[in-house]
Structure 1
Amino acid sequence: DELKQFRQRNPYVGLAGDAAGTITNISTIESQKIELNNKKYELQAIIQRLNKAAADEKYSVLSELLSWLAVNGPATVPALAAEFATLNEERMRLESSYAPGHPVLLENKKKLNQLEQKVLLTAGNVEKQYDERIKSFDTQVRSQQLKIQRLPAKELEYAELQRKRNVADQVYSSLLVRFNQAKVADAVEVGDIIVLDPAVVPPTAGKLGLFLKYGMIAFIMGFGLSVGFVLVVDFFDKTVRTTDELEKAVPIRVVAKIPVVGSEKDIDPELFDKSKRIDPKLVTADYSPTPMGEAYRSLRTQLLFNNEEKRNRSLFVTSLNPSEGKSLNAGNLAITFAQQKIPTLLVDADLRRGVLHSSFACNKKPGLADFLYSNADITDENIRKVIQQTHIPNLYLMSSGMAVPNPSEILGTQRAAEVFKFMGERFGFLIVDTPPIMVTADSIVLSKYVDQGLFVIRAGKTNVEDVKAKLAEYKNFQNHLFGIILNCAELDMKKDNYKYSYYNY
């Protein structure tokens, strides 16, 4: 209002080019100062919450502080974050196995406390750097103000009003952002827990009462099992065992049916060629005409014919839950593409529980997480540093890499999108092993970087109702799917004897 009234009273007063530039410089410097002050206040708020947090909440606040420092702190923060992820995971495992006062658990918490002090020291250093930069901004503002002190009184008054308006705009924008953040935080705040009634030990029943109670329970259970066993099992069984059942339950075509792949004990050591495969479950590595191997080769043929029409050169493999065979299927499928003399890159994008490096006897680090966390340019030379040649010709592996505290965030960055685009252009075919969608939404993010996908459903284990619910949540993800793989399916012995008997005269 003051600026508006001044302009009405003095319509011909203005600023020359140099003076206007000086005012712009002052406004820019003060805007940077305001932004830096906001970051400083955010850091101080997190540190204050960490100091006041209870024992159960301390580690979640410490993880939040590490995430903040990863964005705004020095280059040493990723190493602290990786150490925290390892120690925190060990703490949760130990708490489920040992009493609170066990020496092993106490030693782990001691290491976490030491790490907390390191993180607080790093945060203090960042806060000091902010203070120094704020002082530097104040010095620059005073220097710029000296340049306009020689202006006439009216122009000087106009310049001061113009500067105040610019600063007020910045303050308003900053306050609006912080107000919205406070509203969100207040909306998700959990209310206090009130104990209405204390727990009491139930009274001990007499022997006759216990006998009648357990006798009645046994009678009801026996009667229910004898009369409705088949109906009850069918009602609660949300899994499928055949392709017909799967196609009726989920509206996506089944492109492959993979029989059960035996363990290492089921494989004859004399027929096992160690030079061609490391993990016994990599059944496609030795070209053997088994039902499993032929199923993967049939799937490869479908993908190649589909590529001729749509020119797709990359796909992801995911599942609903862990232990349903997505990594096994991704590895065997990648081998079949490599056997076709197509340069194939297999990427382990499961940054939480990547296992492909073990299957192919390769190193876990460096890998995808290391490259995404680094500042290295996306070039052929740098990419080759995190790619390993497997024992299969034409097949290369990029392992998951180091443990990181925030896999979803780094996989959703623009850098991740550029890395996957770069690798897809450099190889004949790109196969990405992604985390299960029931555990995390990483697969949804990664599906945007590749052309198509495969969804693995394990026969007799995967809940198809949960699959339909998840696919309904992400319509675009469902459109990216090339088809479904039914893993660990039962063999049709008549059909398979006809197809494979000529190999065994």
Structure 2
Amino acid sequence: MTFGDFVRLSRAYVWVLIGCTILGALLMIAKTTREPVLYSATSSGLVRVGEATTAGEEQGNAQLAEDKATLYAFLVSTMPVAEQVVEDLGLDVPPEAIAGRFSASVDATVNALTVSAIGSTPEEARDLANAVVDAVVVVAQEIETGEANPKEAPLTRIVPLQPAQLPGAPFTPDYRNAAMKGAIGGLGLAYAVLIGRRLIDRRIRSAKHVEEATGAAVLGIIPQEESLGRAHRGVRGDLGRAAESFRQLRTNLRFVDVDNEPRRIVVTSALAGEGKSTVAANVARLVAQAGTPVLLVDADLRRPTLATTFEIDGAVGLTQALAGDVDVRDVIVDSGMANLSLLAAGRIPPNPSELLGSLRMKQFIDDLSHDYLVILDAPPLLPVTDAGLLSAFCDGALLVQAAGKTQIEQSQQCRRILDQVGSRLLGVVLNKAPVKGAAAIAYGGGYGSYGGYGGYKAEQASREAYSTAGKGRRRKPLKVGRS
């Protein structure tokens, strides 16, 4: 994941990140409210050894004072010191209950000892901090002399520097610090989940994914557009911001092989619902609009859609022609758009694979390709073998993949199937590409400017031409009979 991807991920999930940050802060605050209210007080003093009369004695005493200060810091949190504090203050608590409340630090540059004590009230914290300073000297002297109450004055003493004062506020619970920690934790966890999901995601989300999986070029990226999800699949010319993407696809398809321009193209996908029929219908319409005679064949004999899309009578079509009941050219319908003809699926047969893989089907396509650019809307590759059979005797296949839906493994399997039947993969169409949101990371949200192309004259002409679509007519009087 690049820095740019990270930024786009943050922008796409900005409200999720904000929500997790706030939730983390609130949870930590709630947890902190259960902590006891404690106060901390600090006292400090200078460790002195004897009375020096010469510079040499002063240097020696300073070194000894440094060693004593380190010893005192160690003794502060021990049980003997706690016992002495309980005795000095007359507390009615066991020593072990307060032993862990003391801590100390040493500043070796001036031999200063700083003692901190924690109490449940400001007064308790202050008294404990002051008492510890005196108690630690007593305990140290007992350890050095081995006497409980030595008669001689101690050689080492702590000169009070700053007695403990009453703390103005408790140091815990610290709601501000807890909120900051919770916010950072919530934000970090949200990022970890989002980035983890992105890294383990096996769905096709970019042209790079497609090219790595199939080894074929991406001929077009079609953004999500509401009109493409309607019954007419955008063939009325209302493609919106997808219009320019389809034109780019049409152009790229023409230049796949300039010397041997494909005349028989199978449009298929990995699974149903990826938009192959939508792509096939609109590519056929736009190619026809450019002046090339096109025949769009509904070769999906399991779930035909062409008749519904173009609002034509699809009761008689390809299956009757393959069965020999009618001549195939008699069931070709004029779409009402210039240069675009349609061949509906007809009655759904019990044996689609046998019909589509038959020699008669191959002969039909070969014959029709002399007069038309034949585009076959075929079933998905993975569930059934129909598309593989068709692509074997066509010039190539156009594979439609749905961004954010098709798995990389499914894309790889499609390529293997086409290779096994000796078909040529002309290219891939990445369909339903999100234009915003988290899934738009791979595409950069760059489709917004395409909306301006919806006013092209060609699109307007297509809308006008569609006014006669649905009133398609057969080229010859239909004669149904066994040939």
Larger of the two Rg values belongs to structure: 2
TM (normalized to structure 2)? Answer: 0.49
More helix as a share of residues: 1
TM (normalized to structure 1)? Answer: 0.47
